[in-house]
Amino acid sequence: MSKILVTGGAGFIGSHLCERLLADGHSVICLDNFFSGDRDNVAHLLGKPDFTLVEHDVTDSFHFVVDEIYNLACPASPVFYQSDPVKTTRTSVLGAINALELARETGAKILQASTSEVYGDPAVHPQNEQYWGHVNPIGLRSCYDEGKRCAESLFFDYRRRYGVRIKVVRIFNTYGPRMAVNDGRVISNFVVQALRGEDITIYGNGQQTRSFQYVSDLVEGMVRMMGSGDAFSGPVNLGNPGEFTMLELAEKVLSKTNSHSRLIFKPLPEDDPKMRRPDISLAARRLKWQPQVPLDEGLDAVIAYFREKLA
Residues 303, 260 share a domain: yes
List, by residue number, the catalytic residues: 144
User: What per-residue confidence (pLDDT) applies to 271?
Assistant: 64
Residues 190, 45 share a domain: no
Average pLDDT rounded to a whole number, residues 185-202 = 93
Average pLDDT rounded to a whole number, residues 45-74 = 97
* pLDDT above 90 coverage of the chain, percent: 79
- pTM (2 d.p.): 0.94
- CA atoms of 165 and 151, how far apart (whole Å): 15
In which domain, by residue range, is 137 found? 3-176+213-240+277-292
Residues 93-136 have pLDDT tens digits of 999 999 999 999 999 999 999 999 999 988 888 999 999 989 99
Alpha helices in the chain (DSSP H): 12-23, 78-81, 85-106, 142-162, 186-196, 215-227, 246-257, 281-287, 295-310
Asked whether residue 52 carries a pLDDT value surpassing 70, the answer given is yes
Q: Do the domain assignments include residue 181? A: no
Q: Do the domain assignments include residue 132? A: yes
User: What per-residue confidence (pLDDT) applies to 289?
Assistant: 98
Q: How many domains, in total, are found in the chain?
A: 2
User: What per-residue confidence (pLDDT) applies to 79?
Assistant: 80
Residue type, 251: E
Asked whether residue 26 carries a pLDDT value surpassing 80, the answer given is yes
Residues 233-276 have pLDDT tens digits of 999 999 999 888 999 999 999 999 999 999 999 887 776 767 78
C-alpha triplet 146, 96, 58: angle, nearest 5°: 110
- CA atoms of 311 and 298, how far apart (whole Å): 20
Asked whether residue 143 carries a pLDDT value surpassing 80, the answer given is yes
Q: CATH number of the domain that 266 lies in?
A: 3.90.25.10
Q: Do the domain assignments include residue 49? A: yes
Longest dimension (CA), the chain: 58
- CA atoms of 70 and 109, how far apart (whole Å): 9
* Cα dihedral 241/239/41/80 (nearest 10): -100
Residues 218-228 have pLDDT tens digits of 999 999 999 99
Residues 195, 122 share a domain: no
